[in-house]
């Protein structure tokens, strides 16, 4: 089983940047595709980005393409999400999870990290 701890969220003005981190432990992290997901108030949790363990290829939901970058450091069991040109609609709690395409692989989640973008 994988344990996940997200960090790096905060309050930022529109146009600003944040870098989120997700530390994973308890399983063979490097063998998982990893994803970032987010949940805005009153909305369903949605896919944001994912990175494959095999070749590091990445994919993103349309609304964040060109602004967000997912990366990973297998030696540190950590996956990152660099978020630039933030918009108020990016406000949400952000979570990481092993990914099966654009779907989370695990039913359990970490505590998430809150990102708030002010206009």
Length of the chain equals 119
- Average pLDDT over the chain reads 94
Given a cut of 80, whether residue 43 has pLDDT beyond it is yes
The encoded tokens of residue 43 equal: 């909305």
DSSP-derived letter for residue 27 is S
Give the residues across from 100 on adjacent strands: 103
Of all residues in the chain, the percent with pLDDT exceeding 70 is 97
The encoded tokens of residue 59 equal: 């994919």
pLDDT for the residue 31:
81
pLDDT for the residue 27:
67
Burial degree of 98 (CB within 10 A; 0-12, 13-18, 19+): buried
DSSP calls for 38-85: EE-TTS--EEEEEE-TTT--EEE-GGGTTTEEEEEEGGGTEEEEEE-S
pLDDT digits (tens, 9 = 90+) for 59-105: 999 999 999 999 999 889 899 999 999 999 999 999 999 998 899 99
Burial degree of 15 (CB within 10 A; 0-12, 13-18, 19+): exposed
């Amino acid at each position: 089983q994988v344990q996940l701890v997200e960090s790096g969220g905060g309050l930022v003005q529109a146009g600003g940047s944040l870098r989120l981190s997700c530390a994973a432990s308890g399983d063979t992290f490097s063998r998982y595709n990893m994803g970032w997901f987010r949940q805005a108030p009153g909305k369903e949790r949605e896919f944001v980005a994912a990175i494959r363990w095999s070749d590091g290829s990445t994919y993103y939901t349309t609304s964040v393409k060109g602004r967000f970058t997912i990366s990973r450091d297998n030696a540190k069991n950590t996956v990152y999400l660099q978020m630039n040109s933030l918009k108020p609609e990016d406000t949400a709690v952000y979570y990481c999870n092993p990914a099966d395409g654009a779907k989370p692989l695990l039913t359990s989640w970490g505590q998430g990290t809150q990102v708030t973008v002010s206009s």
